[in-house]
């Protein structure tokens, strides 16, 4: 986002106008760039629905998912009834964590896969125990194996919290959970219960009855989509949700907010899109070799119509096929299933790099679409709005931390030098006594500065989250989640509507990368 802005006719406006554009946009609403995206070359923009176009309220929606999962554990999987008295703290878990299913641990690690923060259930694991368990290279390299689960989507926060509760419960209440159920089996049961909730439709029925309770209102989405359409882009949705639920959610997102359970649904929202693909089964959808059939959806009835790569087929022995003109914008077509090959034919794009896809899930939306297809990608990170604002207001704190770290390193260097002189230097008695005295003073000073630095750093990270700290950092290193964002998201921002704050012809350029030696020299 630090790059030069470009006019519709391609003329350069200059660095100053780009700087002015940034200053006028709230820090929490800005779009940040990892890999260059020239919007003039983008001919189609696609969106996920859940947690992208539709932002769910964690205090209500995730609590609903949590309560449903607990109920399934008790009713279907034989867990004690006292679980029904448990409650969900939706503020506790964050994205980017890794569950060690075998040990019952929850981990936050840096981009090099070093574990920086670890809990067993809700018990903080000591530094020595953490190093003993996760200090070997072999263990670090295994974090992607079957014994680990990644919390990379907001949908997963409730199940991670429930897993931590069950780990504590198993440890503190022997016999309440069968001895045959180890931590891994407990996690599998939680996942099974989550799947049951989604399969029986309970969650979606509750959302459909009262969308306002579970979905945030966002008045920026319609203007953003109108801007994209007016600028000549094709606009589409690819979602794993089926048509009935998609229609309910999109009716709310696009303004039908007085709707109750008995209200009729409008199809007016379809005017903002060229294609809507429901039931896509991402991330499998992004594999062209995926042989899934694509069906057209009759939007009034929800019935599926056989197609040949998207073109409706007449039924054998039936009358000539005449689909009713049900959609206000008849150019919009709704489909279910299929794969990315079908979508490319519908969009008629010449190159995958001409497609920008916007989603919230690193693996389900972003990684496959960029790595396999070469699409341009934008990741939605709602947590970023708070984080960016805290960063923006913490300049003095960060400067203090920097000075404390420099002072700490200088004292450590002097201490090591004096110790070396004592151990290996050819010092006489007076020199040894003088060096020992200096060393003693330095060690006291070093302990004081080290404690002040550690406490300041701990206090700083707790501004972001009291347990897990800054989402994108672990200490001074980028977190595992930040590393994924950097690798797979060309652009990232807090809300999908932020795209409408920038010109549809903007050239997003990343900032300059720095090696360690460059950063050390240039930040003096």
| Closest-CA residue to 116 (of 457, 520, 411) | 457
Contact in structure between 404 and 445 (CB atoms under 8 Å): no
Beta strand pairing call for 105-109 and 148-151: unpaired
Q: Is 48 a catalytic residue?
A: yes
| Closest-CA residue to 26 (of 349, 406, 377, 494) | 494
Flag whether 360 is marked binding.
yes
Flag whether 434 is marked binding.
no
Angle separating helix axes 202-209 and 183-199, nearest 10 degrees: 50
The DSSP call for residue 284 is G
The residue annotated as part of the active site, out of 2, 9, 26, 50, is 50
The DSSP call for residue 512 is P
Q: Is 210 a catalytic residue?
A: no
| Closest-CA residue to 42 (of 301, 234, 298) | 234
The DSSP call for residue 222 is H
CA dist 337 and 285 (Å) reads: 8
Torsion angle defined by CA atoms of residues 242, 368, 30 and 392, in that order, rounded to the nearest 10 degrees = 120
Q: How many CB atoms lie within 10 A of CB 338?
A: 25
Cα distances from 500 to residues 1, 95, 321, 361, in angstroms, run: 14, 26, 40, 21
Beta strand pairing call for 148-151 and 97-100: antiparallel
Residue with tokens 């089996």: 185
- Widest CA span in the chain: 109
Angle separating helix axes 63-77 and 183-199, nearest 10 degrees: 110
Flag whether 9 is marked binding.
no
Tokens of 91: 């503020």
Residue 32 has, within 13 A of its CA and on its CB side, a CA count of: 20
Q: Is 375 left (phi over 0), alpha (psi -120 to 50) or beta?
A: beta
Contact in structure between 270 and 276 (CB atoms under 8 Å): yes
The residue annotated as part of the active site, out of 2, 9, 26, 48, is 48
Contact in structure between 297 and 336 (CB atoms under 8 Å): yes
Torsion angle defined by CA atoms of residues 270, 248, 66 and 80, in that order, rounded to the nearest 10 degrees = -140
Contact in structure between 155 and 203 (CB atoms under 8 Å): no
Q: How many residues does the chain have?
A: 524
Please identify every residue annotated as catalytic.
48, 50
Which residues are part of a known binding site for Mg(2+)?
Answer: 48, 360
Which residues are part of a known binding site for GMP?
Answer: 50
């Amino acid at each position: 986002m630090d790059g030069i802005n470009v006019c519709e006719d391609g003329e350069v406006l200059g660095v100053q106008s780009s700087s002015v554009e940034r200053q006028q946009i709230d820090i929490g609403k800005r779009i940040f760039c990892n890999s260059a995206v020239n919007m003039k070359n983008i001919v189609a923009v696609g969106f996920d629905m859940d947690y992208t176009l539709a932002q769910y309220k964690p205090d209500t929606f995730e609590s609903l998912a949590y309560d449903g999962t607990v109920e399934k554990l008790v009713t279907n999987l034989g867990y004690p009834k006292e679980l029904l008295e448990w409650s969900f703290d939706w503020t506790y878990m964050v994205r980017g964590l890794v569950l060690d299913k075998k040990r019952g641990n929850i981990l936050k690690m840096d981009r090099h896969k070093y574990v920086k923060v670890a809990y067993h259930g809700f018990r903080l694991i000591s530094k020595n125990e953490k190093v003993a368990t996760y200090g070997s290279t072999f263990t670090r390299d295994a974090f992607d194996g079957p014994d680990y689960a990644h919390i990379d989507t907001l949908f997963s926060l409730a199940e991670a919290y429930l897993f931590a509760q069950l780990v504590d419960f198993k440890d503190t209440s022997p016999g309440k959970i069968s001895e045959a159920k180890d931590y891994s089996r407990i996690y599998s049961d939680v996942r099974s219960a989550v799947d049951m909730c989604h399969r029986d439709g309970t969650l979606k029925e509750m959302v459909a009855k009262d969308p306002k309770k579970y979905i945030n209102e966002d008045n920026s989405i319609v203007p953003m989509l109108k801007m994209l359409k007016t600028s000549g882009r094709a606009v589409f949705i690819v979602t794993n949700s089926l048509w009935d639920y998609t229609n309910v959610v999109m009716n709310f997102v696009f303004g039908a907010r007085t709707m109750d359970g008995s209200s009729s649904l409008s199809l007016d929202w379809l005017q903002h899109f060229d294609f809507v693909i429901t039931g896509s089964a991402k991330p499998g959808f992004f594999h062209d070799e995926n042989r899934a059939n694509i069906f057209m959806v009759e939007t009034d009835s929800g019935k599926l119509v056989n197609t040949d790569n998207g073109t409706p087929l007449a039924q054998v022995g039936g009358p000539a096929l005449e689909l009713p003109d049900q959609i206000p914008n008849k150019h919009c077509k709704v489909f279910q299933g299929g794969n990315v090959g079908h979508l490319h034919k519908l969009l008629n794009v010449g190159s995958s790099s001409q497609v920008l896809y916007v989603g919230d899930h690193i693996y389900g939306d972003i990684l496959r679409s960029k790595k396999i297809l070469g699409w341009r990608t934008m990741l939605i990170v709602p947590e970023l709005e708070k984080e960016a604002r805290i960063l923006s207001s913490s300049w003095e704190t960060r400067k203090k931390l920097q000075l404390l770290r420099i002072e700490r390193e200088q004292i450590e260097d002097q201490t090591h030098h004096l110790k070396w002189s004592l151990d290996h230097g050819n010092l006489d008695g007076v020199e040894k006594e003088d060096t020992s005295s200096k060393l003693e003073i330095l060690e006291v000073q070093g302990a004081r500065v080290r404690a002040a630095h550690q406490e300041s750093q701990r206090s700083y990270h707790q501004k972001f989250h009291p347990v897990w700290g800054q989402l994108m950092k672990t200490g001074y290193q980028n977190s595992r989640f930040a590393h994924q964002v950097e690798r797979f998201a060309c652009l990232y921002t807090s809300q999908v509507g932020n795209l409408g704050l920038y010109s549809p012809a903007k050239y997003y350029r990343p900032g300059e990368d720095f090696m360690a030696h460059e950063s050390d020299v240039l930040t003096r």
